[in-house]
């Protein structure tokens, strides 16, 4: 059997008509890139005998799920960011999990389960690579006019800023983001990789990005050269640890809950967690699986912030309000 990805730019489309009985089919909305997730879904099909049908899109799935919540089309939602999982949970579009999964307590809730962790790290000019840096250091005079970032409103940055709010409070964060804006080399723009390109071009000395882009750039002939002038640094290693976001999964429909939870169990299995770790260089949520050899080469044992993701969720609206208040992207 084969998975059936349906790529959509506008969220219009229907699942292909099943060739087997409904009980043997699971339907997925996914933001995860097909290159990673399709081999896992194919393996799940072969092991379980359950056909997987899925729609992939990078935009609009949260809105689609919320609109469909009273008559859900998909059984599960694979998200690349905690904020989107929480958005659909807050709108009542998720089904509570019946099964208990062996995942660290701060990486799951009754509505969703984390599948992988991704660290929000610094990409720095070579001369800064040996410094012990913290997120809090971005407001230092040392970096005035030397920082590049994507939009402050991107979910990855909102998640980071929400964690800083949890650790330091609202007044501190207003001051922090105001100074950070003043320290930018240019207006927020592009994606995480574009900031590394800017370091290579001499536009800035430090940027914020997800750790796994490092390995994706190393495998890209055009982008690999950017890393000749940029190194990766995991922040806050002398205190609470680096901020992590998750990719995760939520249930959307009760009818197929048993096989949906079977899929979750598979994605948390040692086999699948090893694929996440070694093929995408993400951090597994399973303590049974070590990080990839490539990640280990970056600096040995890495300390992560174990802040409850629910606290990050609670802070998002305040962070967005502050970003608007100071016109961070303007």
Report the CATH number that the domain containing residue 169 is assigned in CATH: 3.40.190.10
- 237 shares its domain with 138: yes
Position 292 in a domain:
yes
Ranges of H-type helices in 49-154: 61-67, 82-90
| C-alpha span between 132 and 103 (Å, rounded) | 30
Residue 41 is assigned to a structural domain of this protein: yes
pLDDT digits (tens, 9 = 90+) for 59-116: 899 999 999 999 999 999 999 888 899 899 999 999 999 988 989 988 999 999 999 9
Same domain, 15 and 29: yes
pLDDT attached to residue 11: 40
* 5 close to 37: Cβ distance less than 8 angstroms: no
Confidence check: pLDDT of 23 > 70: no
How far apart are the C-alpha atoms of 245 and 54, rounded to whole Å? 24
Same domain, 111 and 159: no
* Beta carbons within 10 angstroms of residue 316's beta carbon: 19
Q: Is the pLDDT of residue 13 over 80?
A: no
130 and 267 share one domain: no
Residues 252 and 108 in one domain: yes
Question: Using a CB cutoff of 8 Å and minimum separation of 24, what contacts does 169-173 make?
Answer: 170/318, 170/322, 173/319, 173/322
Quick one: 312 and 236 in the same domain?
yes
Same domain, 218 and 320: yes
Look at residue 59 and give its three-state secondary structure: coil
Residue 208 lies in a domain: yes
Average pLDDT value for the chain: 91
In a domain, 103, yes or no: yes
Cα distance between residue 4 and residue 210, in whole Å: 29
Are 31 and 165 contained in the same domain?
A: no
Residues 6+ apart with CB under 8 A from 219: none
Q: Which residues contact 163 (CB under 8 A, 6 or more apart)?
A: 243, 305, 307, 311, 312, 315
Are residues 217 and 223 in contact, defined by beta-carbon separation less than 8 angstroms? yes
Task: Report the distance separating Cα 64 and Cα 73, nearest Å.
Answer: 10
Domain count, the chain: 2
CB 41 within 8 A of CB 54: yes
Specify the pLDDT at position 35: 79
Local confidence band at 257 (pLDDT 50, 70, 90 cut-offs) = very high
Classify residue 330: in a domain, yes or no: no
Q: What is the pLDDT of residue 147?
A: 98
Q: State the residue range of the domain holding 110.
A: 4-117+245-296
DSSP class of residue 292 equals: P
State the CB neighbour count (10 A cutoff) for residue 80. 20
101 and 185 together in one domain: no
**pLDDT of residue 19 exceeding 70:** no
Highest-scoring range by mean pLDDT, 285-289, 312-316, 324-328 = 324-328
Model confidence at 205, in pLDDT bands (50, 70, 90)? very high
Same-domain pairing of 74 and 178: no
29 to each of 112, 156, 248, 249, how far by Cα in Å? 14, 20, 12, 10
pLDDT-derived band at 301, boundaries 50, 70, 90: confident
Q: Which of 281, 291, 263, 289 is nearest to 40 (CA)?
A: 263
pLDDT for position 36: 78
Q: Kindly tell me the burial class for residue 79, based on how many C-beta atoms sit within 10 Å of its own C-beta (0-12, 13-18, 19 or more).
A: buried
Mean pLDDT of 198-211: 97
pLDDT digits (tens, 9 = 90+) for 42-63: 999 999 999 999 999 988 999 9
Residues 91 and 205 in one domain: no
The answer to whether position 206 is within a domain reads yes
Residues 219 and 150 occupy one common structural domain: yes
High-pLDDT (> 70) share of the chain, %: 93
What is the spatial distance between Cα 137 and Cα 148, in angstroms, rounded to a whole number?
14
Q: What pLDDT, in 10s, does the model give residues 107-165?
A: 999 999 999 999 999 999 999 999 999 999 999 999 999 999 999 999 899 999 999 99
SS3 124: strand
Instruction: Compute the distance between CA of residue 182 and CA of residue 177 in angstroms, rounded to an integer.
Output: 9
User: 171: part of which helix (H) or strand (E)?
Assistant: helix 170-182
């Amino acid at each position: 059997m084969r998975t059936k990805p349906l790529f959509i730019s506008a969220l219009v489309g229907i699942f292909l008509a099943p060739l087997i009985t409904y009980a043997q089919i699971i339907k997925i909305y996914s933001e995860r890139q097909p290159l990673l997730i399709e081999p896992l879904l194919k393996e799940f099909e072969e092991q379980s005998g359950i056909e997987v049908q899925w729609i992939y899109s990078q935009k609009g799935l949260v809105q689609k799920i919320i609109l469909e919540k009273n008559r859900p089309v998909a059984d599960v939602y694979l998200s690349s960011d905690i904020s989107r999982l929480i958005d659909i949970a807050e709108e009542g579009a998720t089904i509570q999990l019946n099964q208990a999964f062996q995942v660290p307590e701060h990486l799951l809730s009754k509505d969703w389960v984390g599948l992988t962790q991704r660290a929000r790290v610094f990409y720095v000019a070579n001369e800064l690579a040996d410094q012990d840096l913290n997120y809090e250091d971005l407001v230092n005079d040392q970096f005035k006019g030397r920082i590049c970032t994507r939009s402050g409103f991107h979910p990855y940055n909102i998640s980071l800023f929400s964690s800083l709010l949890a650790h330091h409070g609202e007044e501190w964060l207003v001051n922090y983001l105001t100074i950070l804006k003043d320290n930018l080399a240019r207006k927020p723009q592009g994606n995480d990789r574009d900031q590394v390109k800017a370091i290579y071009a001499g536009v800035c000395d430090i940027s914020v990005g997800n750790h796994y882009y490092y390995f994706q750039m190393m495998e890209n002939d055009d982008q690999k050269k950017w890393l000749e002038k940029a190194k990766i640094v995991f922040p806050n290693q002398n205190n609470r640890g680096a901020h992590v976001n998750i990719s995760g999964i939520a249930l959307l429909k009760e009818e197929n809950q048993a096989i949906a939870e079977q899929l979750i169990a598979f994605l948390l299995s040692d086999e699948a967690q090893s694929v996440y770790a070694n093929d995408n260089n993400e951090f597994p949520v399973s303590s049974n699986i070590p990080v990839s050899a490539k990640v280990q080469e970056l600096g040995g044992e890495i300390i992560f912030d174990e802040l409850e993701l629910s606290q990050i969720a609670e802070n998002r609206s305040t962070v967005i309000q502050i970003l608007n208040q100071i016109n961070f992207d303007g």
